[in-house]
Amino acid sequence: MEENKFEFNYKVFTSIDELPQDQQQLLKEAREVTSQAYAPYSNFQVGAVAKLTNGELVKGSNQENASFPVGLCAERVLLASISSIHPKTPAEAIAISYKSDQHTSDHPISPCGICRQALQEFEMRTNHPVQLILGGMSGPVYVIDSASRLLPLAFTSEELR
């Protein structure tokens, strides 16, 4: 028997003020776009903003539906928008933030499993790593060099060949 281990490094900043200017701006945009979320059921508003390799910014927010679970997470709304508006254009970075009237938004949250799969596939499809910048409305910020780091042993298109 053999035992293996997955590990990855990520950066932790104590606040948005410690980030480089371009990352600060992207996280500020993600914080702002949370107000565009349609989340009347969970009251958990998530915003995601991508900076593409062509310099364009694309935004997405979560969209819930009374017929649960047909709602969409902000990350998948964002990826669908990028793929529709800028087909085949990689994203350099995606900032994700959230707010809620019921919970304090003072720490980073991580994409759900479905979104991790979608982000991993997007990286493979565009052949480009996507840096993730994760933060709440205040508090620490995590910077992860590639979204694929969040999904070790991913199910990929390679398994379908």
> Rounded to whole angstroms, how far apart are CA atoms 114 and 7?
21
Please list, in sequence order, all residues whose beta carbon lies within 8 angstroms of the beta carbon of residue 142, skipping any fewer than 6 positions away: 10, 11, 12, 13, 108, 132, 133, 134, 135
Evaluate the omega torsion of the peptide bond into residue 20 and state whether it is cis, within 30 degrees of 0: no
> Rounded to whole angstroms, how far apart are CA atoms 10 and 101?
29
Q: Check if 56 is active-site.
A: no
Choose the catalytic residue: 64, 75, 121, 123: 75
* Region of residue 90 (left: phi > 0; alpha: psi -120 to 50; beta: else): beta
Please list, in sequence order, all residues whose beta carbon lies within 8 angstroms of the beta carbon of residue 79, skipping any fewer than 6 positions away: 60, 118, 119, 122
Catalytic residue list: 75
